[in-house]
Amino acid sequence: MHKILRTFAFLLLSVLACSPAFGQKIFDGEDGYRLWLKYDLLSDQQSIKTYRKQISSIYVAGDSATTTVIRDELSHALSGLLGKQPKFVEAVGKHALVVGTPSSSADIRNADLSELKGLGKEGFVIKSLELSGKPVTLIAANTDVGALYGTFHLLRLIQTEQPLRELEIVEKPKIDVRVLNHWDDMDRHVERGFAGESIWDWHKLPDYTYPRYYDYARANASIGINGTVLNNVNANAITLTPHYLDKVEALADLFRPYGIKVYLSIKFSSPQLIGGLKTSDPLDPTVKQWWKDKVEEIYARIPDFGGFLVKANSEGQPGPGDFGRTHAEGANLLADALAPHGGVVMWRAFVYANEKNEERSKQAYSEFKPLDGKFHDNVLIQVKNGPIDFQPREPFSPLFGATPKTPMMMEFQITMEYLGFSTHLVYLGTMYEEALQSDTYAKGKGSTVAKVVDGSLFNNHISGIAGVSNIGTDRNWTGHIILQSNWYVFGRLAWDHELTTADIADEWVRMTLSNDEKVVSTVTDMMMRSREITVNYMTPLGLHHIMGVGHHYGPGPWVKDLGREDWTSVYYHKAGKDGIGFDRSPTGVNSVEQYFSPLKEEYAKAETTPEELLLWFHHLPWDYTVKSTGRDLWDELVHRYYQGAADVTAMHNQWQSLQDELDPLQYHQVDMALTIQEKEARWWRDACVTYFQTFSQRPLPKGFEKPEKTLKEYMDMRFPYAPGQG
Ligand code: GCV
């Protein structure tokens, strides 16, 4: 008997040991590649029946590359969602879905849709109506790309199980230029990228392309993104050489049917680096001619090329300042070369220099405000949402609202440089919404940042918004399934900043995870709270820039003695025995003066500064009483750190409560990431509290568990191979 048992045990162990992952479960399922365009069969049979009736045939008018994309998408999507290949026809039928433009379809022309008049090239109408006497669902636009946007909108309605009855949808984007910025290098390294390599395989382009390029275009078109800056703002001049322009051209050709233009980041010193000139001075005639010729060469290949993005005189990049010229003179040089072809310049305002005797958060405003009115018509100034650098929380940049004659373009970071890389679940929608809905008071109450960005506040003739991409070669694109929602919410808000980020989270969850109500309500709740939770365990109460040096991974409030003071953490938190925080009020560096009234007066006093920005604007004693809770500052800080870490555990529990409702692979991936996030939230909490305690010299409030390690142990941790370094 013993022998039989032993043999059985041996056999069992052998089978387990030979299985591909001994001791580990293999998870089949959704790996995240399909993003929010999964198109799996709807679970509600009744909805399927109704949709099938309402779309008994499909007529897509026209024969452009874009209409082919529309047909392919509808075929792919509806066969998946409704479990039956849709019937494509060549004329309007009863209960058909009709897609087209007045020029591609006589039926649409004859319907004389007045709504189309104000919709420009990208807007669309979706209507339930009678067309040539037949009841149909109509997607109409002025261009095929508008019709493509309308198609994705209709598919979203079906994916989220909305009724298709009595539709009366009229949409157009509020912002003109809606671009992703890829900080991708030519060797496929992605600066601040945490999801693998660059998706652009420069070596194999132009002849070798991947399905991923098309899926990238589909995903972007589905949320209304209409441009992509292919390369890093820390640019390599080589991109403008013919060898690389061949590759850029291939991508532009591929993206065109999806309404996506390509743009390039350029190096300001390109005339010297690849043009053999002795100077790159923007006022030098040979330099002007060089750029004019280069731009002509680009447009000969890519007639709809979008234009240039420029990081100049910032963090070591060359710029007009090297020749004693202004940012306006630099930008106008390029703008003049691009103007005849319809291209634009996106000139970044992310400038700061040690040599300037001015605090870093004030410098962009000081440099660009006086240049208002000096930029040519096709220049947009691209400004990061906050005055420092994509911190978990910043006030909005005071440049928004300060330049009535110059379009200010928003730059958000989608990649998570300062927010836990690609392992922390942080939905950035709430952060984008907070920035966009901030009131600048530039023209009185209601002058929101969104109205500056969309050009409506000052009647600017062009508007733009950029998101620094979080995309890489990881199978799930963004390194974490939930972080796909940040790409998604960026696009949706770029299209319409009046949408609420809660609604956007809701639709994203339905499309990506499930329409199950428990899943939708639990995950949207996690997403909506996640950013505040992260602020609490990283940088509560307005603290900022206290992360690990260089790579920005993990806590590093002790960072000091670097080449530049404003790269250190101690410069930003200014913790001492007397208290903590940066005095940017009139008694300090007075950055509050850059805001309009009443903000400048509100921010000037701690009592009227919003608590979440307290230590951004004020240096306060450890016993300062925090109004909302009545705790002293030290206690409040500690409470927030502990609350943040505890909330991550709660989020993890919420996720685990959904195990039976979710796809096993999606579930498992996020579960693993949440395990990391829990550990790292505690690490942030413990390292920061231990460090700040050396200044406050106060005990932890009662009942709080002691940090695991000593301060020295935290300070000794090193991460030379943390991903995404610049
Ligand atoms: C592309 C921060 C980042 C850099 C980035 C820079 C910028 O400083 O750490 O990696 O460089 O911002 O936005 O230009």
SS (H, E, C) 579-598: EECCCCCCCCCCHHHHCCCC
Question: Residues 8-15: what's their mean pLDDT?
Answer: 49
pLDDT confidence bin for 170, thresholds 50/70/90: very high
Distance in Å, CA 697 to ligand 1 centroid: 35
Q: State the Cα–Cα distance between residues 408 and 350, nearest whole angstrom.
A: 12
The CA R_g of the chain, rounded to the nearest whole Å, is 27
- At 353, the pLDDT band (50, 70, 90 cuts) reads confident
* pTM for this entry: 0.96
- For residues 262 and 251, the answer to whether their CB atoms sit within 8 Å is yes
CA of 626 to the centre of ligand 1 (A): 34
Cβ burial of 668 (10 Å; 0-12, 13-18, 19+) is middle
How many angstroms from the chain centroid is the CA of residue 422? 13
Closest approach atom of ligand 1 to CA 192: 10
Give 85's pLDDT tier (boundaries 50, 70, 90). very high
Helix, strand and coil content of the chain, in percent to the nearest 5, comes to: 45, 10, 45
Tell me the C-alpha distance between 248 and 202, whole Å: 9
Using a 6 Å cutoff on CB, does residue 350 contact ligand 1?
yes
pLDDT tens for each residue of 425-466: 999 999 999 999 999 999 999 999 999 999 999 999 999 999
- Ligand 1 atom closest to the CA of 311, numbered from 1: 14
CA of 421 to the centre of ligand 1 (A): 14
pLDDT of 18 above 50:
no
Q: What integer pLDDT is reported at residue 27 of this predicted model?
A: 74
Could you tell me the pLDDT band of residue 3, with boundaries at 50, 70 and 90?
low
CA 446 to chain centre: 25
Quick one: average pLDDT of 145-164? 98
Q: How far is CA 471 from CA 105, 140, 263, 724, in A?
A: 38, 32, 17, 12
Q: Which residues of 500-522 are buried (b: 16+ CB within 10 A; e: fewer)?
A: ebeebbbbbbbbbbbbbeebbeb
Say what the pLDDT of residue 6 is: 58
* Cβ count within 10 A of residue 597: 8
Return the ligand 1 atom nearest residue 191 CA: 10
Distance (angstroms) between ligand 1 centre and the Cα of 547 equals 14
Residue nearest to atom 2 of ligand 1 (CA): 389
Percentage of residues in the chain having pLDDT higher than 90: 94
pLDDT at 357 (0 to 100): 83
Residue 593 has pLDDT above 50, yes or no: yes
Pocket perturbation via mutation, ligand 1, pick of 185, 192, 547 by most ligand atoms within 8 A of CB: 192
Q: Whose CA is nearest to atom 8 of ligand 1?
A: 389
Q: Is the CB of 234 under 6 A from ligand 1?
A: yes
The finding on whether 233 has its CB within 6 A of some atom of ligand 1 is yes
Distance CA 250, CA 132 (A): 41
- Reference 596, options 420, 452, 490, 405; nearest CA is 452
Ligand 1 pocket, mutate which of 315, 417, 421, 551 (most atoms under 8 A from CB): 315
Residue 106 CB neighbours (<10 A)? 13
C-alpha 144/C-alpha 488 separation (Å) is: 22
Q: Residue 567's Cα: distance from chain center in Å? A: 24
Q: Is 183 in the pocket of ligand 1 (CB under 6 A)?
A: yes
Please state the separation of Cα 296 from the chain's center in Å.
Answer: 31
Is it true that the peptide bond before 282 is cis, omega within 30 degrees of 0? no
Candidates 451, 339, 470; CA nearest to 396 is 451
Q: In what order do the strands lie in the sheet with 124-131?
A: 57-60, 96-100, 134-141, 124-131, 168-171
Q: What is the mean pLDDT of the chain?
A: 96
Q: Of all protein residues, whose CA lies closest to atom 9 belonging to ligand 1?
A: 726
Q: Is the CB of 191 under 6 A from ligand 1?
A: yes
pLDDT at 686: 98
Which atom of ligand 1 has the smallest separation from the CA of 468? 13
What are 399-424's pLDDT values in tens digits? 999 999 999 999 999 999 999 999 99
Contact yes or no for 721/194 (Cβ under 8 A): no
Measured in Å, residue 472 CA sits from the centre of ligand 1 at 18
pLDDT of 720 higher than 70: yes
Mean pLDDT of 254-280: 98
User: What share of the chain has pLDDT > 70, as a percent?
Assistant: 96
CB-based burial of residue 706 (10 Å sphere; 0-12 exposed, 13-18 middle, 19+ buried)? exposed
Position 496 scores a pLDDT of 98
Up-side HSE of residue 469: CA atoms within 13 Å toward CB?
28
Nearest CA to ligand 1 atom 10: 726
CA of residue 548 to ligand 1 center, whole Å:
15
Residue 164 CA, distance from chain mean position: 30
Token pair of 131, please? 């067309």
- pLDDT at 715 > cutoff 80: yes
* Average pLDDT for 680-705: 97
pLDDT of residue 622: 98
* CB atoms near residue 132 (< 10 Å): 14
Mean pLDDT of 652-678: 97
pLDDT digits (tens, 9 = 90+) for 315-334: 999 999 999 999 999 999 99
What is the pLDDT confidence band of residue 76, given thresholds at 50, 70 and 90? very high
Question: d(Cα 105, Cα 59) in Å, to the nearest integer?
Answer: 10
DSSP tag of 243: H
Q: Which whole-number Å values give the CA distances from 231 to 80, 156, 235, 295, 725, in the listed order?
A: 35, 30, 7, 17, 16
Q: How far does residue 662's CA lie from ligand 1's centre (Å)?
A: 37
Using the mean position of ligand 1's atoms as its centre, give its distance from the Cα of residue 70 in Å: 37
Encode pLDDT of 96-136 as tens digits.
Answer: 999 999 999 999 999 989 999 999 999 999 999 999 899 99
pLDDT higher than threshold 50 for residue 14: no
Nearest CA to ligand 1 atom 13: 350
The CA angle 443-582-530, to the nearest 5 degrees, is 75
For residue range 455-505, what is the model confidence (pLDDT) as tens digits? 999 999 999 999 999 999 999 999 999 999 999 999 999 999 999 999 999
Q: How far apart are the CA of 265 and the centre of ligand 1, in A?
A: 14
Element spanning 125, H or E: strand 124-131
Say if CB 76 and CB 82 are below 8 A apart.
no
| pLDDT of res. 23 | 53
726 CA: nearest ligand 1 atom: 10
Residue bearing tokens 């940090």: 707
Choose one of 183, 413, 566 to mutate for the ligand 1 pocket test, by most ligand atoms within 8 angstroms of C-beta.
183
- Cβ of residue 311 lying under 6 Å from some atom of ligand 1: yes
Residue 279 or residue 132, greater confidence: 279
* SS3 category, 378: coil
For 468, the enclosing helix (H) or strand (E) is strand 464-468
Q: Which residues are catalytic?
A: 315, 389, 417
Top pLDDT among 113 and 11 is at 113
Could you tell me the two tokens for 624?
């300062």
Q: Is 389 in the pocket of ligand 1 (CB under 6 A)?
A: yes
At residue 21, the pLDDT reads 46
Is any ligand 1 atom within 6 A of the Cβ of residue 726? yes
Torsion on CA atoms 469, 474, 480, 481, rounded to nearest 10: 90
Name the residue at shortest CA distance from atom 4 of ligand 1. 726
CB 422 within 8 Å of CB 483: yes
- CA 389 to centroid of ligand 1, rounded, Å: 8
pLDDT band with cut points at 50, 70 and 90 for residue 348: very high
- Between the CA of 298 and the centroid of ligand 1 the distance, in Å, is 27
Distance CA 45, CA 131 (A): 29
Q: Is the peptide bond before 586 cis (omega within 30 degrees of 0)?
A: no
The yes-or-no verdict on residue 696 having pLDDT over 90 is: yes
Q: Which atom of ligand 1 is nearest to the CA of 314?
A: 14
Task: Decide if pLDDT at 199 tops 50.
Answer: yes
The mean pLDDT value for 31-38 works out to: 97
What domains appear along the chain, each with residue ranges and CATH number? 45-171 (3.30.379.10), 177-387+466-472+480-508 (3.20.20.80), 536-582+619-715 (3.90.1330.10)
192: Cβ below 6 Å to ligand 1?
yes
Which atom of ligand 1 lies closest to the CA of 183? 1
- C-alpha–C-alpha distance, residues 320 and 222, integer Å: 38
φ, ψ for residue 474, nearest 5 deg: -50, 145
Whole-number Å distance, alpha carbon 563 to ligand 1 midpoint, is 16
